[in-house]
């Protein structure tokens, strides 16, 4: 029974799916996970998964470094002075990603981890939006990773073809070059793909919560009890807290490792007498683009959902003031007539904020963050209940946190300031800027 509830990251095809196209999105995820081979459903699969990981993340890079060492035989263009830091960086991120996926696989499973077991209880709009986002997830992985992989393939093919007479080979020169080149490319693709996988999974989960937040905004546009609003807000805060707890170690470790690797790369290429050109430092650039892109996906997803969650505070305050200025306290205790009700509800639509209807607001306004007044109903909650709800929302803001630190735009500004200071300090020590 426990196994059925937990599942694994590679669920069987008979799992119930409520998404469109007969669960094609889940099958795509299963195929991708099988490619990076993260499967711990049984001892045999777990052993094979760990074997593939160690082979492609450690054995192949180590053999490549020692078996293809041509520092004494290769010419200036085919030397690889930055090969070691590139391989260490990729292996470090692959290890972090694989261990994270292994942990989530043992504890949760694809359905529970992606909140798919809860989406069936949501509105049809949320289900359709989540299904569309799952469809675009694989495209996102290809759009970010495929260009770098093509560039890596071009570099490796050039390196092996143009330096065939200088590069060490074992047995037949052509067969040896083809096997070694293929293993190196598979290792590179495996390590970058598994890191991108975790990043896009985080983005996908955050997008589901954004859909829920947009749907939650509609409760302020109809007659709703404080208890219902409070329960929905508590559910959203709980989901965001679960996401934060699952990904906090990965996000923090990724931020530290990316910052450290980029500073090390910068130090290596700006130190005195550094041998830098496109052929030698090209791999540093490709790895940097891959790692920074993954970190960008993580931070952008976290800050976007945190900004959305914080918009609830402004929405609740706007709802409170709209209800207050349209209250029926001035009717001297009389029961409001239908005409009075319609007139009071229409006040919000007739209030001008000093801007014409033709003003362009762009794409920034949505259900949570806009300048529109809310429709108010005659039996809207009393002033004290509304005030209590607004005070609660103001003092219990939701969002993605990393060990207690809210991942919002202010936090991003702090990260940028620290990294810029470290970069300028390092440049001052190396090139004297």
pLDDT in tens, 182-197: 999 999 999 998 999 8
Q: How confident is the model at residue 339 (pLDDT cuts 50, 70, 90)?
A: very low
Q: Give the model's pLDDT for residue 32.
A: 63
Residues 61, 52: contact at Cβ < 8 Å?
no
| Residue 94 resides in a domain | yes
Structure tokens that stand for 60 in this block: 């192949």
What percent of the chain shows pLDDT beyond 70? 76
Which range is least confidently modeled, 92-96, 104-108, 185-189, 416-420? 104-108
In the chain, the number of structural domains is: 1
| Residue 368 resides in a domain | no
Q: Give the model's pLDDT for residue 175.
A: 86
pLDDT at 8 over 70: no
Q: How confident is the model at residue 333 (pLDDT cuts 50, 70, 90)?
A: very low
135-158 mean pLDDT? 84
What percent of the chain shows pLDDT beyond 90? 23
| Residue 385 resides in a domain | no
The shares of helix, strand and coil residues in the chain, as percent rounded to the nearest 5, are: 70, 0, 25
CB count in 10 Å sphere of residue 277: 9
Q: List, as one string, the DSSP characters of 344-387.
A: HHHHHHH---S--TT---TT---SSS-SPPPP--TTPPPHHHHH
Q: How confident is the model at residue 297 (pLDDT cuts 50, 70, 90)?
A: very high
Look over the chain and give the mean of its residue pLDDT values, rounded to a whole number.
77
89-94 mean pLDDT? 94
Measure the CA–CA gap between 407 and 410, rounded to whole angstroms. Answer: 8
| Residue 194 resides in a domain | yes
| Residue 105 resides in a domain | yes
240-260 mean pLDDT? 94
145-163 mean pLDDT? 86
Structure tokens that stand for 422 in this block: 């470290």
Q: Give the model's pLDDT for residue 36.
A: 62
| Residue 139 resides in a domain | yes
pLDDT at 352 over 60: no
pLDDT tens digits, residue range 202-217? 998 998 888 888 888 8
Measure the CA–CA gap between 81 and 15, rounded to whole angstroms. Answer: 50
Q: Give the model's pLDDT for residue 31.
A: 63
Q: Which of 400, 422, 414 is nearest to 251 (CA)?
A: 400
Q: Give the model's pLDDT for residue 142.
A: 80
φ/ψ (deg, to 5) at 401: -120, 155
Question: What is the pTM for the complete model shown?
Answer: 0.80
Q: Give the model's pLDDT for residue 349.
A: 43
pLDDT tens digits, residue range 359-407? 444 445 555 555 555 555 444 557 788 888 888 888 888 889 999 888 8
Structure tokens that stand for 210 in this block: 């954004």
pLDDT at 336 over 70: no
343-348 mean pLDDT? 45
Which range is least confidently modeled, 109-113, 244-248, 302-306? 109-113
DSSP 8-state class, residue 9: S
Q: How confident is the model at residue 25 (pLDDT cuts 50, 70, 90)?
A: low
Q: Which is more confident, 164 or 420? A: 420
| Residue 422 resides in a domain | yes
Which residue matches tokens 């949760």?
108
Which range is least confidently modeled, 15-19, 258-262, 383-387, 427-431? 15-19
What are the b/e assignments for 51-83, b being 16+ CB within 10 Å? ebbeebbeebbeebeeebeeeeebeeebbbebb
Q: Which of 107, 127, 138, 79 is nearest to 274 (CA)?
A: 79
Instruction: Cite the beta strand spans of 103-177 per DSSP E.
Output: none
Q: Give the model's pLDDT for residue 30.
A: 63
pLDDT at 344 over 70: no
16-36 mean pLDDT? 56
**Length reported for the chain:** 433
Q: Give the model's pLDDT for residue 358.
A: 45
289-303 mean pLDDT? 92
Structure tokens that stand for 282 in this block: 């090209």
Residues 92, 257: contact at Cβ < 8 Å?
yes
Q: How confident is the model at residue 247 (pLDDT cuts 50, 70, 90)?
A: very high
Query: Beta partners for 401?
Result: 406
Which range is least confidently modeled, 127-141, 283-297, 300-314? 127-141
Q: How confident is the model at residue 326 (pLDDT cuts 50, 70, 90)?
A: low
Secondary structure of the chain in HEC code, one letter for each residue: CHHHHHCCCCCCCCCCCCCHHHHHHHHHHHHHHHHHCCCCCCHHHHHHHHHHHHHHHHHHHHHHHHHCCCCCCCCCCCCCCCHHHHHHHHHHHHHHHHHHHHHHHHHCCHHHHCCHHHHCCCCHHHHHHHHHHHHHHHHHHHHHHHHHHHHHHHHHHHHHHHCCCCCCCCCCHHHHHHHHHHHHHHHHHHHHHHHHHHHHHHHHHHHHHHHHHHHHHHHHHCCCCHHHHHHHHHHHHHHHHHHHHHHHHHHHHHHHHHHHHHHHHHHHHHCCCCCCCHHHHHHHHHHHHHHHHHHHHHHHHHHHHHHHHHHHHHHHHHHHHHHHHCCCHHHCCCCCCHHHHHHHHHHHHHCCCCCCCCCCCCCCCCCCCCCCCCCCCCCCCCHHHHHHHHHHHHHCCCCCEECCEECCHHHHHHHHHHHHHHHHHHHHHHCCC
Measure the CA–CA gap between 302 and 306, rounded to whole angstroms. Answer: 6
111-116 mean pLDDT? 78
- Determine the angle formed by the axes of helices 409-430 and 278-325, rounding to 10 degrees: 150
| Residue 275 resides in a domain | yes
87-109 mean pLDDT? 90
Q: Give the model's pLDDT for residue 343.
A: 47
Residue 239 domain boundaries: 2-316+400-430
């Amino acid at each position: 029974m426990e196994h059925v509830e937990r599942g694994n990251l590679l669920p069987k095809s008979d799992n119930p799916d409520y998404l469109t196209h007969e669960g094609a999105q889940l099958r795509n995820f299963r195929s991708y996970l099988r490619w990076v081979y993260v499967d711990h459903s049984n001892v045999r699969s777990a052993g094979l998964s760990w074997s593939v990981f160690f082979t492609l993340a450690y054995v192949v890079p180590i053999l490549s470094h020692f078996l293809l060492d041509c520092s004494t035989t290769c010419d200036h263009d085919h030397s690889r002075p930055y090969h070691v830091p590139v391989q260490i960086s990729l292996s470090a991120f692959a290890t972090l990603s694989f261990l994270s996926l292994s942990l989530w696989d043992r504890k949760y499973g694809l359905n529970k981890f992606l909140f798919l077991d809860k989406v069936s209880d949501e509105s049809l709009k949320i289900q359709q939006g989540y299904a569309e986002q799952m469809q675009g997830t694989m495209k996102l992985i290809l759009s970010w990773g495929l260009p770098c992989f093509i560039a890596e393939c071009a570099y490796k093919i050039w390196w092996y073809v143009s330096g065939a007479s200088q590069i060490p080979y074992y047995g037949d020169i052509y067969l040896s070059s083809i096997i070694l080149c293929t293993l190196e490319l598979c290792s590179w693709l495996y390590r970058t793909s598994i890191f991108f996988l975790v990043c896009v999974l985080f983005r996908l989960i955050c997008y589901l919560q954004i859909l829920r937040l947009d749907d939650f905004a509609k409760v302020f546009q109809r007659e709703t009890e404080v208890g219902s609003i409070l329960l929905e807000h508590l559910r959203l805060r709980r989901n965001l807290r679960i996401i934060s707890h699952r990904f906090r170690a990965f996000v923090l470790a990724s931020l530290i490792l990316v910052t450290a690797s980029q500073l090390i790369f910068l130090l290596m290429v700006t130190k005195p007498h550094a041998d830098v050109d496109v052929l030698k430092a090209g791999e540093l650039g490709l790895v940097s683009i891959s790692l920074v892109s993954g970190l960008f996906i993580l931070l952008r997803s976290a800050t976007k959902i945190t900004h959305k969650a914080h918009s609830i505070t402004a929405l609740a305050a706007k709802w409170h003031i709209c209800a207050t200025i349209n209250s029926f306290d001035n009717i001297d205790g009389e029961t409001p007539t239908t005409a009075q009700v319609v007139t009071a509800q229409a006040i919000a639509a007739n209030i001008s904020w000093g801007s014409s209807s033709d003003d362009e607001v762009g794409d920034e306004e949505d259900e949570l963050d806009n300048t529109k007044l809310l429709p108010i109903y005659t039996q809207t909650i009393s002033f004290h209940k509304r005030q209590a709800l607004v005070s609660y929302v103001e003092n219990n803001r939701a969002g993605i946190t990393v060990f207690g630190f809210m991942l919002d735009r202010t936090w991003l500004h702090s990260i940028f300031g620290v990294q810029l200071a470290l970069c300028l300090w390092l440049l001052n020590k190396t090139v004297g800027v």
